[in-house]
Chain A
Amino acid sequence: MSGHSINPCNHDIFPPEAPLVNVQVDGEWVQVPKGMNLIEVARRHGKFIPHYCYHPKLQVVGNCRMCLIEMGTPKMSPERKPIIGADGKPEINWMPRPQIACASQASEGLGIRTDSPLTQECRKAVMEFLLINHPLDCPICDQAGECKLQEFSSEYGTGTSRFVEQKVHKPKHQDLGARIVLDDERCILCSRCVRFARDVVKDDVLGFVNRGSYNTLTSHPDKKFDNDYSLNTVDICPVGALTSKDFRFKMRVWFLKETETICTGCATGCNVTVGSREDVVYRLTPRGNEEVNSDWMCDFGRLDFHDLGDSRRISQPQSRAGAEHFSVPWQDVFLQIGQRLAGFKPGEVALIGSARMTNEELYLFKKLAEDLKIELFDIIPREWPGDSFLKSKDKNPNSAGAKLVKFSSGGSVLPKIKEGIESGRIRGLISFHEDATAIGLSRAALEKLSLLIAASILPNDTTTVSHFILPSGGFAEKRGSMVNAKGRLQRLHKAVNPPGSMEDWEIINSLRKAAGSQQNFSSFEEVFKSLSADVPLLAGLNLGKIGDKGVQLDLSKA
């Protein structure tokens, strides 16, 4: 999946072999790909042309008029040859009328002025027009702080209003779909959401009704805007018209700390930005990566973070006494676990890991298996229908990584683990990020185990009967790497602290120590270093090299 295959347009992507033309940007001649629109031309050369309706991934409609600039074409001699000036470059014939940059394309000898008096005057006028009927309810608007109306007002508008008439009133808090609320008075009718729905996700249910200043965005009378990509419109809405029901009124955006990581909702691994404040995650927004998700993500993945703030969250290590669990300090838990593990023979313990764990965690988990001479270990596969856009059929985010570190056998070992536990041959089980009942084990079977250790975010049937519960971390609470379905190695960054204060890799590292391992990693970087040394496909890589956008692995060579 890449930007090329999922977007109807990619105005910002030009093949390296595209022919170049000379264009004058604010007096300076630069070379740009022929046909590139002038907003992108300017962007590539450090100039910003403000715009609302233009989006590099959507069809150009030119309706906001914010990107009006001065433009000129080469002066032609009577023989239709460009007249060359003293600087050896074509002389420019400036057009008296401003032109929209979004719909104008780079051609040889073209000139643009992105900040001339006429350009400034046009922007000022458009800003005024956009605000005369706007409710100006910034104090209670969720978009405040990341609103293009605010930004461009401050940059290009005026401090006073000349409008003394009654504003047009339009519908407020309209229910556009399951996840979106629309405020039509805030809407500037840029049609980004309409084009996204129609052209990107092919769910053409948004449109305008009425006419002129009374134009109103709405969804089809019989259809809601409910597709699983609907929340992307909240991101591309340049103003506060479309707001997410999940996020609205929860947090002022300027308080949010932004952490670049990836979504772990499925094996696509959409690049995301986590917005958090004081160890609470408030929202996920997609982060552009043409090799993975372009600028989009699905609504499921976007909202799949609420476990982190769940009130039932396991926040402390616990050990069981009778039917009750009691909080125990970390060091005591590891001490007790170490003592208990010593009483098992090889072959009496099994591990259930998860392809929701990072490469580093799974690598250490595999090491734990080796430490304890455990032969039965695997992950639990997880599938859902997926779709043809971004959702992978594999609902586990790191199936490929689990295979790469040789922890996963794709679930084929699970029946043996089940059978071993049921027959009583296996007396000990360590389960990470999974509910062991998911492989068909009954609670009674789990209760027969002499030792059950479960690391989990939330209580489940396994934690309820386990001897030790370890508070594990969610995707936003850890560093690490994962490999998506297409073999892209990508990094997770820690946005917030895990409630148990230990990252998952540290928990497993400590388990190994408790089990008597001599190998002990003192930093996350060390784990990756060891991992990359052990897995040939990762040879030569380090965390820096993976970077923000990941690196492509050739899984066929694994």
Chain B
Amino acid sequence: MPVQERRIILKHIDQPGYTIDIDCYLKHGGYETLKKALKLPPAQIKDEVKKSQLRGRGGAGFSCGMKWGFIDPSKTQKPIYLICNADESDPGTFKDRQIIHKDPHQLLEGMIISCFANSVKLAYIYIRGEFPIGARILEKALAEARAKNFLGKNILGSGYDLEIYVHRGAGAYICGEETGLIESLEGKRPYPRIKPPYFPAVLGLYMAPTIVNNVETLCNVLHVVEMGSEAFAKIGRPNNTGTRILCVSGDVNKPGYHEFECGVITMGELINDICGGIRNGNKLKAVIPGGSSAKVLRAESKFKMKQKGPDGNMTEKEIGLLDIPLDFDSLAAVGSMAGSGGIIVMDHTRDMVESMANLSEFYAHESCGQCTPCREGSLWMKKILTRMTHGKARKEDTALLKNVADNIAGRTICAFGEACAWPVQGFIANFKEEFEAKATKR
């Protein structure tokens, strides 16, 4: 019996007859949680979110409750802003667009509750420029919500005012980096800010305290409030609570997106039971488990994982790729990350150097160019890899490539440095022989 999906966020999405109209949303119990939330003290909602152990769904998996906890509305004279990061651009990740395109009010309700909890009076949805339809859908949903007084002045007679605006990006991946996003929202070039001192919680949008949350995270807030933190924390695993939308792409028979409780499904179950196995009966070669910047995992690799037994003792177990439970901590334990939930499956026909060259082209194209290592290194890696795939690899290229990546990771302004270096490090660590073979085959 394959593991069953647990559709909380995707509950209505793709259901026959379910539309994006507010009436449909209301028919399905929409905005009831908001009504409930508006009667609660904001601090209590924040507390609930903290207790739920909800972790951010954007990629870093940072505790949402802790992020909110950095801001104390009673201790700031400045306005507090909330920004929904809808700049979903990670190759291999396509979950937020499902929510935006198919259930926009769910996002708005989660967002309004989050704003209320944090005393936010003005919030933005920063949506990537490549989602024009999504932006139109959100605009329409906002108008509908405004007409029904779920937004605007004195929401539902609660005395709480909130306005939300949609802002479209202009087509740069770096705008998904929260401080780059903030700069872009301010009308500037999206150069990520240095942290310290520009932590969004302190000096965010217009130098005011700012919360930046991913689309899926904000939807989860809705469900935390709806079911209560205790019930939410029971979903998934400790420290990996709730569900996760997994986006499977690549060489499987049935690519798609699926929602599971965190850590309840393994990689093997997802690939074989849910996604119909590897295409054409091919052999699994590798998986990138959390969006393109996560380190690649090799099919034959064995991973040592510490597990807490029922008796509370830690035991170390050796597992294969297919046995890895899909949650934040397990994927981190095997040296990769759950990231943004994009799972890219590669079969034995894939040339790993070609694949890496393809990825590196993306990163070279998307580096904002602000800081030296990433600006120069991302294009250098792309050029080396492109040359390697064109029959001009040299013996020393693999080591050079690895060293360039090492010189980027950990030395840049934002996490894009890691995003472009980790794949290279991961590919070389796992498939060194393929890289080296390029030099001997010439």
Interface residues of A (CB under 8 A from B): 60-66, 68, 97-98, 100, 103-104, 122, 125-126, 128-130, 132-133, 162-166, 168, 188-189, 207-208, 210-215
Contact status A212-B366, CB under 8 Å: yes
In B390-440, the 8 Å CB interface with A consists of 394, 400, 407, 410-413
Contact status B376-A100, CB under 8 Å: no
* Minimum distance in angstroms from A418 CB to a CB of chain B: 59
B387 within 8 A of A: yes
Which of A66, A163, A164, A212 has the most B CB atoms < 10 Å from its CB?
A212
**Are A133 and B376 also in contact (CB < 8 A) when A100-B194, A213-B364 are?**
yes
Contact status A166-B383, CB under 8 Å: yes
Q: State A66–B370 Cα separation when bound (angstroms).
A: 13
- On chain B, the residues within 8 Å of A166 by CB distance are 383
- On chain B, the residues within 8 Å of A61 by CB distance are 194
Which of A126, A210, A213, A214 has the most B CB atoms < 10 Å from its CB?
A213
- On chain A, the residues within 8 Å of B376 by CB distance are 129-130, 132-133, 213
**Are A211 and B369 also in contact (CB < 8 A) when A130-B376, A163-B380, A168-B379 are?**
yes
**Are A125 and B411 also in contact (CB < 8 A) when A212-B366, A212-B379, A213-B379 are?**
yes
Contact status B411-A165, CB under 8 Å: no
B378 within 8 A of A: yes
Contact status B365-A125, CB under 8 Å: no
Q: Is the interface of A mostly helix, strand, loop or mixed?
A: loop
Q: Can you list 30 A-B pairs, Cβ within 8 angstroms, ordered by A?
A: A63-B191, A65-B371, A65-B373, A68-B411, A97-B411, A98-B411, A100-B194, A103-B194, A104-B196, A125-B411, A126-B373, A129-B375, A129-B376, A130-B372, A130-B376, A132-B380, A162-B400, A164-B394, A165-B380, A165-B384, A168-B379, A188-B372, A189-B369, A208-B189, A211-B368, A213-B364, A213-B367, A213-B376, A215-B370, A215-B375
B197 within 8 A of A: yes
- On chain A, the residues within 8 Å of B371 by CB distance are 62-65
- On chain B, the residues within 8 Å of A103 by CB distance are 194, 196-197
Q: Scoring B residues 181 to 202 as 1 if CB is less than 8 Å from chain A, else 0, what string do you get? A: 0000000010100101100000
Q: State A287–B370 Cα separation when bound (angstroms).
A: 30
- On chain A, the residues within 8 Å of B196 by CB distance are 103-104
Q: Scoring B residues 216 to 250 as 1 if CB is less than 8 Å from chain A, else 0, what string do you get? A: 00000000000000000000000000000000000
- On chain A, the residues within 8 Å of B407 by CB distance are 125, 128-129
Question: Other than the known A129-B376, A129-B380, A215-B369, what 11 A-B pairs have Cβ atoms closer than 8 Å?
Answer: A65-B372, A97-B410, A103-B194, A103-B196, A125-B411, A165-B383, A165-B387, A211-B172, A211-B365, A212-B365, A212-B378
Q: State A130–B377 Cα separation when bound (angstroms).
A: 10
Q: State A207–B380 Cα separation when bound (angstroms).
A: 24
Q: State A281–B375 Cα separation when bound (angstroms).
A: 40
* Minimum distance in angstroms from B415 CB to a CB of chain A: 12
Q: State A208–B368 Cα separation when bound (angstroms).
A: 11
A-B pairs, 7 with minimum CB distance = A215-B369, A125-B407, A129-B376, A213-B379, A212-B367, A165-B383, A62-B194
Chain A residue at smallest Cβ distance from B376: A129
Q: State A98–B417 Cα separation when bound (angstroms).
A: 14
- On chain A, the residues within 8 Å of B411 by CB distance are 65, 68, 97-98, 122, 125-126
- On chain B, the residues within 8 Å of A129 by CB distance are 372-373, 375-377, 380, 407
Chain A residue at smallest Cβ distance from B383: A165
Which of B194, B375, B383, B413 has the most A CB atoms < 10 Å from its CB?
B375
Q: Scoring B residues 342 to 361 as 1 if CB is less than 8 Å from chain A, else 0, what string do you get? A: 00000000000000000000
* Minimum distance in angstroms from B240 CB to a CB of chain A: 25
Chain A residue at smallest Cβ distance from B377: A129
Q: State A66–B412 Cα separation when bound (angstroms).
A: 11
Q: State A212–B364 Cα separation when bound (angstroms).
A: 7
- On chain B, the residues within 8 Å of A66 by CB distance are 372
Contact status B372-A64, CB under 8 Å: yes
Contact status B369-A65, CB under 8 Å: no
**Are A213 and B375 also in contact (CB < 8 A) when A62-B413, A165-B387 are?**
yes
* Minimum distance in angstroms from A128 CB to a CB of chain B: 8
Which of A65, A126, A214 has the most B CB atoms < 10 Å from its CB?
A65
- On chain B, the residues within 8 Å of A100 by CB distance are 194
Contact status A211-B197, CB under 8 Å: no
Q: State A399–B373 Cα separation when bound (angstroms).
A: 53
Q: State A100–B379 Cα separation when bound (angstroms).
A: 23
In B28-64, the 8 Å CB interface with A consists of none
- On chain B, the residues within 8 Å of A162 by CB distance are 400
Q: State A164–B384 Cα separation when bound (angstroms).
A: 9
Q: State A344–B178 Cα separation when bound (angstroms).
A: 84
- On chain B, the residues within 8 Å of A212 by CB distance are 364-369, 375, 378-379
